[in-house]
Every structure is written in structure tokens, then in C-alpha cells.
Amino acid sequence: MTSATIRLDDVTKIFDGRVLAVDGVTLDIAAGEFFSLLGPSGCGKTTSLRMIAGFELPDSGRVHVAGRDITDLPVHKRDMGMVFQSYALFPHRTVAENVAFGLRMREVPKPDIERRVKAALAQVALTGLEERKPGQLSGGQQQRVALARALVVEPPVLLCDEPLGALDRKLRQQMQFELKELQKRLGVTLVFVTHDQEEALAMSDRIAVMNHGKVEQVGAPTEIYERPRTRFVADFIGEINILEESGRARALRPEKIHLVSDGARVSGTVETANFLGGSTLLRVMTTDGRSLLVRETHAGERPSRKPGDAVGLLWNDQDTVLLEG
Amino acid sequence: MISRRTVLGTGALAAATLAAPSILHAQTKTLKITTWGGKWGDIMKATVLPAFEKEFKCTVSADQAFPYVPKLQASPKNDPLYDVLHTNSNEQWNCFTEGLVMDKITPKEAPNVADVYPWAASDKIVGVAIFTSAIGLGFRTDKGLTKPTSWKDLADPKLAGARGSYIIPVNSLGQCHLMMLGKIYGKGLQDLDAAYKALEQLKPIKLVDFTGQMEKMLLSGEVSMGVIHDSGVYRYDGQNQPVDFASPSEGVMALEQVLNVTPGSKVKELAFAYVDYMLRPDTQKLLAEGVWYSPANKKVKLDAKYDEKLLTTEAKVATLIQPDWKWYNARKEDIDARVTKILKG
Amino acid sequence: MSAPLPTIRNKQPFDAGRATYLTLNGLLLAFLLAPIAIVLVFALNPTPYISFPPVGVSLRWFEKFFRTPEFTNALFLSLWVAGCVLVLSIVIGGACALALARGNLPGRSFLTAFFMSPLMLPAILTGLALFQSYLLAGIGRPVWGLIMAHTLVAVPYVIRTTLAVLHNFDRRIEEAAAVLGASPTRVFFEVTLPLIRPGVFAGGVFAFIVSFDQFPVSLFLVVPKGETLPVVLFNYMKFDLDGAIAAASMVSILLALSVVLVLERLIGLRAYVKL
């Protein structure tokens, strides 16, 4: 399967002449990359995706795919695949007809359509459900049909708009795994919109964190997690402590704080202890009046700290990250 | 008429060499008329109209769908929807007041008018009447009632709830009945106060919209005695129905079938020819015996069975009372309001 | 163990609310069906007036209905007109509804009200106004004029039902088709049209019935020898009030019912409960 680069070049979108949805976004997405647009609702991630798809025209800036400027190309000529949160299956058509739709539009010969539909359904483990209507399928099955329908045309680019948002947690994790695996196998460039940071961290090659229509930071999941550049990114991804020191903000992950009996940098009292299975997240009120999150990992032993316990805290300065702004 | 047709024929021949299409046009003149449905309409469509079309080389478009008058009112006066309007007398008066129909049709326009009884061309008629029915009392013969001789018999207390008349605002028989009450119980047809009082005394009474309903109520026995026109009872002659018609001694009201021509008609001569045709003795006999209408033409000789019951002599015709519709229509709104109040509940 | 179970289940306490509910429903149903029952009794009764209890059962009035050319011609004209109205109002009403729902038109609510306005106007006035317009325009009263008039009062039904479907329409479905390579035209015919079809045809059924039963609008617009069934029945009633009227009513009811059933079968009005 082919894959293509995507480039958003200083793209801006204003709705109704007053709502600035996307504000000068520039992104370079590599061929075959699993790229996530992450941010809270209203941050402009879906609008950015819809501009790549062609549903929205940028007010300024250009969109390139595989080096070609496609800004003015209508949706149906862009040759992309897309998966929607609501699946958007054709309710009046069978599973097989849904999957065959894109091939029919491309005027693929009938025997080829049958073969490829069969293969695509096998790929998402839906063999045998060809004649069902979408209404007769479970949410997970519908999601797979949507995926098969998008992928059967072998698009160089697959766009996913919160595709797993409607699934329950267990199914969702399974689908995350499958989707990632499928993307790697097919080598398709995948742009994935989500507001779920765990999902983005787990699946992406790179993540663009967006806020108020702007890209705050682009980087690999580890980079985003460990070296957040802005207070927003630090706050949005996982648990974080923001330390204010002489007018500058530093981020410190709870797992980088150690509980010690001697040589504590600061001491305090445990206020709450949330048991999370592999670790316990403690909220500690320090003697100098700060409230810090501390992750206590359990290497075999039971969690030992309870609210009211006195603890000593220690961390290395190298583990803190200086934030911009 | 014959001379006119000859002229037409000669003209057509002469024109044939010059402009063939115009002759075609002249030959297929269309006469637009209104006419009744039911048995009358069957006879018209089966016999009368085809014969007329053949004789006058025209086509007749006969509208049998009510309401004729509003349709005529809504159409342009210089190109009216109908050339000949056939309605009962009171509607003709309404049309006449609005200038939709002509005043009189005289022997000059339709020669057969010379042979009609005086009632058919009286000052109570605009246009010319071609038939009349007698409005009197229909009654059941199987309820131990003696044949009514007076309009007052309808007020017999035994008939409470089993007597019938019409919803006065919408039915001209009801209107005739109201005027007759003024004559019987008061100073004359126009004594409305007496009529209102008498109407009050007739309650409880069954009221219907149109005569067909009254016929059915008599047939089904829901009404034992009711105001109805003679033809509405005689039409069941020979069907073994226990109903009969009585002409009260005070006289019967006239329900005239009136023809009139619209001033804006583009085929006026043809329209007059149609009126004349409807007054021909053979046409009159055919229709009179078909639907039990009394013919307007004095020269008509009906078969004995019909002659016995219909108004076919000067003496019998003398019992006809013609309402003054011009007078009535001018007061209609007040009367409607009043009788609605009286008959409410 | 299993034997006493049914007895227990049958011992339901008397529920006054439910009894009232059932009684009211029964009364409502009786109220709706009683006229049809009376018409049926009248139609099957051999006497030329309604007699109760009926004196017998006969098909003479149905025979009279089908043997009278006035009735059968009017029936066919009514069916023909209603068929044309069905097609026209589906096309016009469907297009109007799409424009109203999707067109981003200025003054949308005004336009919606405007398209619904034929329902507000007394139908007799619509008929009279059209009659005068036709005569003034010098086009007379052709059958297509009657069809247009019926369409005018039928279109709002199609607009309403189609708008209802469009209101719940997930536009992502159309977007999905576009991404898959369908041009706007193909999106319309492959996705939009099939999905709004139940709404459009539900309106079409209304349109058919509105036209087939139409009396006030037709009253002024029919011509001699070109009268629709309701007009013919009305005029017939003025001269001959017999069972043929009732027979005609039964035929009308059965025809309307079969059109609804056939459309339901063909198009499957209930095919996509979940859109």
C-alpha cells in the first residue's frame, strides 16, 4: 500500500467570520506515520482534520499531500480514507455494499470488488457478516466495517476522527492495538484526532498537542510526556506538579518524586492516597504550603502510606522541565 | 331558425374555398350550459342534448357540478362560464341583481315562449321557466294519517318529531314553506312575524339540507309528513312505496325550473335556440314524464297517468303560488338570522 | 413447583388507571371506526335509504357504482389525478424540503411558513382563486390545472415529512460517501435520496389521499365530463341519495388503503426505523 506525506502550511480557518477555529497551523506529517492531533474539545483538531479531508476550505494557508497542493481539490477527488466517530455507515446498505462503495466509485471491475471486499472484511475479522445491515451489528463490529470501508480503496492517507470514542474501555483498548497493528502493516499515513491523551500516547509515532486553534507542541509521545514545552501541554498530558520558582514554572512528574526517610528536600503529610493497582497516587501537603502529587510504585510490597502519615520528599533538578511562558 | 341555418350553410359554402379552418371553427361552436343530474341528467345526456347538437351542429358542454352561481360569479362577465344558466327561480333572481343573466326571454328570442302558461313568464320570473314542481306535503300512507288538506295539518301535535322541513338558509323549499306559513297564519306571504311564530309551533321538527334527504326520510319512515315537491314523491310511482303527495287547499308553492341567458355569451343565438328547444312540446313531454315536472308549454299533451297528477290545465295551474324572490332575497340575511335562532335546539 | 406459578401470575390486582386507559382507547377507536361501519351497512343494505337494523345484504349498490360510467370515469380520473399529484408533490416537496434544510437560505423560517401556507388557507378559497386566475389567464380549466391545484395543497405534507427525516439526518454519512470518491450528484442519488425516501414517500401517501379525497379545491376546477369522484358523489347525492354513494365511499376507502399498503410494501415505509 502506498503512503503519502501531508503538509499543512500556515492554515487558518474562521467560522461565521468570528470564531477562530484554526490559527496559523503548520504541520509536516511523514509518509507512513501514525500522527495524532490531541487536545481538548474546541482546540481545532477536528477542523484541521476536516481541512485535510476537504470538508472545510482554509481561509488562508495551503494543504499539501504527497507534495501536491490539494487545497482547492474537492473531497471526492482527494483519494483518502476516513473513519468517523459515529462510523457513518450507510444504514440502507449491507456490510459488503458499504465496503464495496469506494471501489464502485472508482469503477473497479465487479470480480475485483468482490475479491477485495472479502479480503478487507477478513482483515478486520468480519467474514460471514457480509449480508448484515449496520443496524444489526455491535458498536465494535460497526467500527471494523467503517475501517474496512476506508481501507479497501488502499488510500495513501487515512483520517480518523475520534474513531474509538464511542466504544467501551475494554473494546477500545483492543481496537487501539488492532488499529496500530493494521496501520504498521499497511504502512498508510494515519492522522488520528483524539482528546484522550492515553490513547494518543499509546498509539502515535508523533503527537501534535493543540489548544485554542494553535499547535502547542509536536513530538514523539515520550518527548511530549517527558519534556512538555508549555504549561498547557504539561497539564494536559498525565499528572504533573508545577513548581513556581523565582517567577519561572517547572514541571515535575509525580513518579520523579521519591519518598525518603533521610535527606528529604521537603517534608509533609499525606492528604489522600489513591490506589491505582500498580502504583498509588498520593497528594502530599508540604510544610512550606505546597500540594504535590507523588506516585509511589509497588514493586511487590503492599501500599504503605495512608492519609495522615508524615513523609519526606526528594527529587533531582534534572527531572524538572522548564516551561515556556 | 331554419332560415338562419340556411344562411350559415350558404356562408360556409362560400367561405370554404377561401379559409377552411374558419368553417371548422364555425361548425363546432360550443354551448355552455348548466343542467341537473339524476334522472333529468340521464335523459338530457341520452336524448335531448345529442339531438340538439345534431340539429344545430354544435357541441354542448353541460355542467352538472354545483355550485353554478358562484362559478358564474367568479368568471369574467364578458366571457362567462355559461351561456345558458339553468337553476331554480330564486338563484336566477340573485344572478339578475348582479347583472349575470338577462331580464326576460320573449317570443322574439325563443318563439315557443308564446305558448307558455302565464306563470312561466310572469313578473316573478327572470328569464323563462320551462317546468315547475308543486311544493306541498308528502306523507306516509301507512301511519294512519288522513291525507292532509291544509298546510295547517303539518302542525298536528301527533306529528311532533315526525314532521319534516328544510334548513331555511340553504334550501328554497324551506324558504317557500316559511312564506307559506305567513300566508296561512298571517296576512300573506310577506307576513314574516306570523311566519316566525308559526315556525316556533312546528318544533320539534326534522330539518334537512336538500330534497333528496327528505325523500329518504319519508321512505325510511323517519318522517311521517314533510314539506316536499310533488316530483320528489311521484318519482317513486310504481315502486310500492307507502308515500303520497297532497296539494293543500290553500295552494301549492311553485318550484320553477328557469332558463336564462348570460348577457356576455358569445353564442347568444345558439343559447336562445336551446331555450326554445327546451320549450318544444316533444322535449317538454319527454322530460315532464321522465321526472314528473309540470311542463310550462300549454300545448304539451301528457299521458293520462301524468296528466292526472301534474299541473296541466289552466284550473290546476291556478293553484300555483309564486314566491317573490326579489323581495325575499333582499331580506335573506335577517330572515336567516331569525330562523336559525328559532330552530336552534 | 411449576404448577402454582400461572395462578400467581394471573392474580393481578385491579388497576383503575389501566382500565380507564383501555376504555378510553376503545372509545376512541369506536369513534374513528363507527362512520366507516355505518357506511358499510348502508352500502350492503338493499334499500335505497339507511334502515337499521339492515333488512338484508346485497351488492346491488356496488354493481350500480361499477356499471355507471359517471362513477367509473370519475374514479379513474381521480386515480389519475392523484397519481400525478403523488409524483409531482414528491419531486417538488422533496426538493423544497432539501432546500429548506440544507440551502442556508436567508429567511428560512419565513420560507417554511410560506410553503406551508396552502394548508392555512381554506381550501375552497384556494380553489376559487385558482379558478379565477385560470379564467383570467384564458387557459380554461384543463386537467393539469386541477393537478397543479391539488399539488399545491399536497406539497406541504411532503415537505413536513421530509423535513422531519432531514432533521435527524447524520450528514457524516454523506461525507463518508464523498471521501470514498462519490461526486455531489452521486452522493445525492446513492446516499441522500435513499435515506430520505421513507419521509418523502410517507408525505407522498398523504399527497395521494389529499388529492383522491379532495373536494373543496376541485369544486370550482372540474369541467363537465371531467369531474373527480368526490365532486360526482356530491352532485349525485343532491338528486339520488341511495346506497351507490355508500358503495362509492367503500371503494374509495379500500383504494386509498390499498395504495398505502402497496407503497408500504414496495418502498418499505418502516424500513429504516433507525437512521
Write out the E strands in B145-208.
163-166, 206-208
- The mean per-residue pLDDT over the stretch A267-271 comes to 91
Q: Which of C132, C234, C241 sits opposite B74 (nearest CB)?
A: C132
Tell me, yes or no, if A116 comes closer than 8 A to chain C by beta carbon: no
Burial class (CB in 10 A: 0-12, 13-18, 19+), B115: middle
Of B41, B64, B74, the CB nearest to C131: B74
Question: A174: distance to nearest CA of chain C, Å?
Answer: 24
pLDDT of amino acid B22: 42
What are the boundaries of each domain within chain B?
A: 28-132+255-310, 134-252+325-343
Same domain, residue pair C148 and C21: no
Rounded to whole angstroms, the maximal C-alpha distance in chain C is 87
- pLDDT higher than 60, residue B182: yes
| Residue that the C-alpha cell 470514498 belongs to | C180
C172 touches chain A (CB under 8 A): yes
In this structure, are C35 and C73 located in the same domain?
A: no
CATH fold for domain B134-252+325-343 = D-Maltodextrin-Binding Protein; domain 2 (3.40.190)
Residues C9-19: tens digit of each pLDDT: 555 667 888 99
Predicted confidence at residue A300, as pLDDT, reads: 60
Give yes or no for B65 touching C (CB within 8 A).
yes
Peptide bond into A307 cis (omega under 30): no
State the residue for C-alpha cell 339520488.
C240
Residue of C49, C224, C236 with shortest CB distance to B216: C49
The answer to whether chain A touches chain C by having 3 or more C-beta pairs less than 8 angstroms apart is: yes
Does C188 lie in the same domain as C120?
yes
> CB A75 to CB C178 under 8 A?
yes
Question: What DSSP assignment string belongs to chain C?
Answer: --SHHHHHHH-PPP-HHHHHHHHHHHHHHHHHHHHHHHHHHHHH-SSSS--SS------HHHHHHHH-HHHHHHHHHHHHHHHHHHHHHHHHHHHHHHHHHHS--TTHHHHHHHHHHHHHS-HHHHHHHHHHHHHHHT----HHHHHHHHHHHHHHHHHHHHHHHHHT--THHHHHHHHTT--HHHHIIIIIHHHHHHHHHHHHHHHHHHHHT--HHHHHH-BTTB--HHHHHHHHHHH--SHHHHHHHHHHHHHHHHHHHHHHHHH-TTTTS--
Please check whether residue C4 lies inside any domain of the structure: no
Please give the Cα distance from B75 to B87 (Å, whole number).
Answer: 17
Q: Please tell me the predicted confidence (pLDDT) of residue B323.
A: 95
Mean pLDDT of chain A: 91
**pLDDT for position C267:** 67
Task: Cell numbers for A163, please give them.
Answer: 474513531
Rounded distance, CA A271 to CA B152, Å? 108
For A51-55, B1-5, B179-183, C154-158, which range has the lowest pLDDT when averaged over its residues? B1-5
Question: Are C175 and A84 inside 8 Å of each other by CB?
Answer: yes
pLDDT at B345 > cutoff 80: no
Contacts of C48 in chain B (CB under 8 A): 216, 219
Cis ω on the peptide bond leading into residue B204 (within 30° of 0)? Answer: yes
Exposed, middle or buried, C241 (CB in 10 Å: 0-12/13-18/19+)? Answer: buried
CB contacts of A55 in chain C (<8 Å) are 175, 178
Q: Does C183 touch chain A (CB under 8 A)?
A: yes
Does residue C201 sit in the same domain as residue C188? yes
Task: Give the SS3 label for residue A86.
Answer: coil
Q: Same domain, yes or no, for C72 and C182?
A: yes
CA distance A284 to A25: 39
Whether C235 and B220 lie within 8 Å, measured CB to CB: no
Neighbour count for residue B156 (Cβ, 10 Å): 15
Q: Are residues C69 and C52 in the same domain?
A: no
pLDDT of residue B86: 96
Give the domain extent around C51. 17-58
C52 in contact with chain B, both atoms CB, cutoff 8 A? no
Q: Give exposure, C254-272, as e/b (b: 16+ Cβ within 10 Å).
A: ebbeebbeebeeebebeeb
**pLDDT on residue B23:** 43
Nearest residue to C230 (alpha-carbon basis) of B214, B5, B94, B66: B66
On whether residue C6 sits in a domain, the answer given is no
Alpha-helix residue ranges (DSSP H) falling in chain A: 45-53, 95-105, 110-123, 139-151, 169-186, 197-203, 221-226, 231-236
| Total domain count, chain C | 2
B28-132+255-310 and B134-252+325-343 have identical folds = yes
Closest partner residue to B212 (CB to CB) among C135, C225, C238 is C238
Tell which of A79, A92, A104, A159 to mutate to test the C interface (max C CBs under 10 Å): A92
CB-based contact (8 Å) between C234 and chain B?
yes
Q: Is the pLDDT of residue A298 over 90?
A: no
C154 to chain B nearest CA, in Å?
23
C87 and C25, same domain (yes or no) = no
Report pLDDT digits (tens) over C60-107: 899 999 999 989 999 999 999 999 999 999 999 999 999 999 888 888
Residue C3 lies in a domain: no
Q: Is C135 on the interface with B (CB under 8 A)?
A: yes
- A86 vs C177: CB contact, 8 Å cut-off? no
C124 lies in the same domain as C226: yes
Strand partners, B127: B104
Contact C179 A86 (CB under 8 A): no
Burial of B1 (0-12, 13-18, 19+ CB in 10 A): middle
Find out if CATH 3.40.190.80 is the number for domain B28-132+255-310. no
Q: B216, C231: Cβ pair inside 8 Å?
A: no
Indicate whether C151 belongs to any domain.
yes
More confident residue, C260 or B119: B119
What local confidence, expressed as pLDDT, does residue B24 receive? 46
* pLDDT tens-digit series, residues C129-153: 999 999 888 888 899 999 999 999 9
- Please report whether residue C5 resides in a domain: no
pLDDT of B222 over the 50 cut: yes
What's the whole-number mean pLDDT along residues A108-131? 92
Distance from CA of C125 to the nearest CA of A (A): 43
Chains that touch B (3 or more CB pairs under 8 A): C
CB contact under 8 A, A101 and C180: yes
Which residue from B156, B224, B183, B175 is spatially nearest to B335, judged by alpha carbons?
B175
How many residue pairs bridge chain B and chain C with CB atoms within 8 Å of each other? 72
Cell triple for C89: 408533490
Helix (DSSP H) and strand (DSSP E) numbers for chain A: 8, 18
Residue among C131, C235, C240 whose CB faces B66 most closely? C235
- Cα separation of C160 and C200, whole Å? 9
With cut-offs at 50, 70 and 90, classify the pLDDT of residue B225.
Answer: very high
Kindly state whether residues C98 and C186 are assigned to the same domain: yes
Chain C residues touching B40 at Cβ < 8 A: 239
Residue B78 in contact with partner chain C when CB distance is under 8 A: no
Query: Same domain for C67 and C96?
Result: yes
pLDDT of residue C262: 84
Q: Which of C38, C41, C42, C49 to mutate: most B Cβ within 10 Å?
A: C49
Q: How far is C237 from chain B (nearest CA, A)?
A: 7
Q: Does A115 touch chain C (CB under 8 A)?
A: no
> CB B210 to CB C48 under 8 A?
no
C107 and C38 in a common domain: no
For residues A185 and A29, the answer to whether their CB atoms sit within 8 Å is: no
Model confidence at C43: pLDDT above 70: yes
- The answer as to whether C1 is a domain residue is no
Roughly what angle, to the nearest 10 degrees, separates helices B192-201 and B172-185? 100
Residue B170 CA to residue B44 CA, distance in Å, equals: 26
Say yes or no for a CB contact (<8 Å) between B37 and C238: yes
Judgement on whether residues C115 and C27 belong to the same structural domain of the protein: no
Determine contact: C186 vs chain A, CB below 8 A.
yes
Q: What is the pLDDT of residue C10?
A: 55
**CA dihedral sign of residues B14, B15, B16, B22:** negative
DSSP-derived secondary structure letter, B44: I
Mean pLDDT score of chain C:
87
pLDDT digits (tens, 9 = 90+) for B299-336: 999 999 999 999 999 999 999 999 999 999 999 999 99
C251 found inside a domain: yes
Residue C89 forms part of a structural domain: yes
Task: Find the mean pLDDT for residues B96-104.
Answer: 94
Candidate from A77-86, A316-325, B132-141 with smallest mean pLDDT: A316-325
> Chain C closest CA to A83's CA: distance in Å?
8
Residue C6 — pLDDT band, cuts 50, 70, 90? very low
